Amino acid sequence: MFSKKETYTCSSIIGKEAGADLSVVICYRLLRTLFIFLAVPPLLKAIFRSMLRKRSPA
């Protein structure tokens, strides 16, 4: 498993080899990480709450 630093380095190397702008590649990676940290937990919380409501007797 790669560490975060190795993952960003790996994506930078691949972007450089593909001829992409490295600042865009790194910005995309950071925005993707930010989205995962901010959007996924509330979404999972809502899903689990709805599952618990369906299971609990009314």
**Confidence (pLDDT) at 26:** 86
Q: Which pLDDT score, from 0 to 100, does residue 56 have? A: 75
pLDDT digits (tens, 9 = 90+) for 14-57: 888 888 888 888 898 889 989 999 999 999 999 999 999 888 76
Q: Which of 32, 12, 36 is nearest to 22 (CA)?
A: 12
Compute the distance between CA of residue 8 and CA of residue 53 in angstroms, rounded to an integer: 40
Range of the domain at 40: 4-55
Query: How many domains is the chain partitioned into structurally?
Result: 1
Give 41 or 6, the one with higher predicted confidence.
41
Q: Supply the pLDDT for residue 23.
A: 87
Q: Which residues contact 1 (CB under 8 A, 6 or more apart)?
A: none
Q: Do residues 22 and 9 touch, judged by C-beta distance below 8 A?
A: no
pLDDT at position 8 over 70: no
* Residue-level pLDDT at 20: 84
Coil, helix or strand at residue 2: coil
